[in-house]
Amino acid sequence: MGDAGCVHFASYIKEYGYDSFSVVHAYFSACISKEARRRKALSCLCHKCGSSGPQLYSCLHCIYFGCKGAHMNEHYKQTKHFMALELCYGMLYCYQCRDFIYHSKCQTIAERHLRREARSLDKSLSWRPWSPSRLEIELLLKNPKRRHVTALTSIGLRGLLNLGSTCFMNCIVQALIHTPLLRDYFLAELHECTSKTAAKCLVCEVSRLFQEFYSGARGPLSLHRLLHLIWNHARHLAGYEQQDAHEFFIATLDVLHRHCKISMTELAANAAAAAAAAAAASEKSKSSQSNSLHQNQHVSGNFLQQHQAASQQDALQLLPQTGSANMSGGGVTSTNAPTATGSASSATGATETQTDPNPAQCNCIIDQIFTGGLQSDVVCQACKGVSTTIDPFWDISLDLGESSNGQGGYGGPPKSLIDCLERFTRAEHLGSSAKIKCNTCNSYQESTKQLSMRTLPIVASFHLKRFEHSSLIDKKISTFISFPAELDMTPFMSQKKSDQQQQPHRGSPSTLNAMDRGGGENNGSSSTSSSSSLLTGTSNVTTSCAPNDADGRKHRTDGSGDTADFRYSLYAVINHVGTLDAGHYTAYVRHQKDIWVKCDDHIITTATLKQVLDSEGYLLFYHKKILEYE
């Protein structure tokens, strides 16, 4: 049996078409709208015994629901209606073949309904196995040779030549090459670029590098083209002196992000122009096609005649329902709370609705993988009103120096990544010099500020700020900071922090060293700028809510759901050896499961997990262990 089902289903489609399958699947299997779910709850009962399961079938010839087994068999014997739809999993069943059948077009319709159901319920789709497209099938047939990848394979490993103090670039490239979703994206050749911008497109160059890494060749590569493009698009990194790996990482993401947006904009403009031309050409044939379609809709006379009165109005409302206000991510609106606008020293009393952390976020691969949302809650100490600001970020910079407030045992330097994150997300008393104007109190009031993770990216990167700069001396902090192979970010989510605030407060908040908002520095110095400020075209989202308000969060990665999973696995570590003036960067990357390698420019050697965890650590890259499929 192929992808066209059986001969009986072919005759059924020839007589009735696909409408009955589509309507039954949309209303009683996938339930693509709230109204569909209501109708299923009320009418999806066995016509014989009145039960709702455990496994119901629907006849595709007429309106009849029956339990699996005797009740549906009896209906088939009496009516000779041989096609039915199993409602739990949406599978077609042929009573003449006495077997389930598969039909590619029905599967396409079912998948479309499942996506609409997921959007309606604001949930993710269940995992689906990869299935090749028609183009991919043609490519596989044209290239029958396959490369067998074993546990000891070196495919994907290439050394990188040092072009003169370019170890900082080599390490970042190794980390990006071994980012799983980025690898899958570029090896699938999903990036499209116009001929006008391809020569200057950094995304095209990175795509070429992925092809080189996974070509099977073993010789080291030269990144002169990549370096030249970075120099052209990030002028502050141009030159032959040593640069900071963290600053290069942020600049590379920024350029990739901008070039992805340019490519997507140009392709969309070309598609819109083509669509406009096609629309003008097809305008004349629309009326005839509509008449022809109306005449050919002979879908199970009994089914449509009986179902039309009950569901015609519902079918017309399906599209508006899936795009209703419930899908817009609207949250809780509250009053009587100060709203910070850019800084803690100024506030307005406007009442706003919570929105996405990054309203201008594009759908490019960089944003999908690396962009998260950092939530800042400023609390008025007089009325306890909360002003919430959400900033996009690409990485989190963590201070390693001593805290200015030694209360609660946090006066000394941190000893682990968990210590750094706990200190990063602890409440900070802003003091009398940074009062906010609270419209509820109608006066300037002292406040506290607390950072937390509103949304987490697929790849969470942490920057340990080992380079300290002051007016007196510049130094490197070589303190050993332990970091785990498996990291759980649940304690640092906004929802978790909100739950903790509902408990009785113990003690006074200590000083929090938050991410600086200043500019970066070169010559081996650490960039102290917030990564969110580098997101071109994005802006802060300021919201106001009642104290301890945790509702209105649209995204599943914000910690609002009980089933949310925030576990991460380490896959790359970048180390800096030496001093500020004379240093060298190396990288550890996870090549395959439980297989680590050390990348020292053109030299690639095997490593153990213990060596990785015992290293000093400058940039840490963690990948989300469980992904939600949209």
Residue positions annotated with a catalytic role: 167, 584
User: Of the candidates 448, 451, 462, which has an alpha carbon nearest to the alpha carbon of residue 494?
Assistant: 451
HEC assignment per residue over 374-396: EEEEEEECCCCCEEEEEEEECCE
CA distance 28 to 45: 11
User: Quick check: 615 and 575 in contact, CB under 8 A?
Assistant: yes
Q: Which helix (H) or strand (E) holds 569?
A: strand 567-578
- The Cα 160–Cα 421 span in angstroms is 33
DSSP 298-311: --THHHHHHHHHHH
- CA nearest neighbour of 463 among 405, 528, 546: 528
Closest CA to 623 of 563, 565, 571: 571
DSSP 119-164: HHHT-PBPP------HHHHHHHHH----PPP-TT--TT---B---S
Give the CA diameter of the chain.
Answer: 94
> What residues contact 211, with CB distance under 8 A and at least 6 apart?
186, 187
Q: How far is residue 41 from each of residues 22, 111, 561, measured CA to CA in Å?
A: 19, 22, 25
- Percent helix, strand and coil across the chain, each to the nearest 5: 35, 20, 45
Question: Is residue 54 reached through a cis peptide bond, with omega within 30 degrees of 0 on the bond before it?
Answer: yes
One DSSP character per residue, 25-83 reads IIIIIS--SHHHHHHHHHH-S-TTT----SSEEEESSSS-EEETTHHHHHHHHHH---E
From CA 400, how far away is CA 91, in angstroms rounded? 57
What are the DSSP calls for 270-305, one per residue? HHHHHHHHHHHHHTTTHHHHHHHHHHT---THHHHH
Quote the CA–CA distance of 572 and 409 in Å, as a whole number. 31
Q: What is the C-alpha separation between 421 and 514, in angstroms, rounded? A: 10
* C-beta separation of 349 from 385 below 8 A: no
Who's near 514: CB < 8 A, 6+ residues apart?
A: 424, 428, 449, 451
Q: Is 581 exposed, middle or buried (CB count within 10 Å of its CB: 0-12, 13-18, 19+)?
A: exposed
What is the rounded CA–CA span in Å between residue 554 and residue 546?
18
Alpha helices in 317-473 (DSSP H): 318-322, 365-370, 417-424
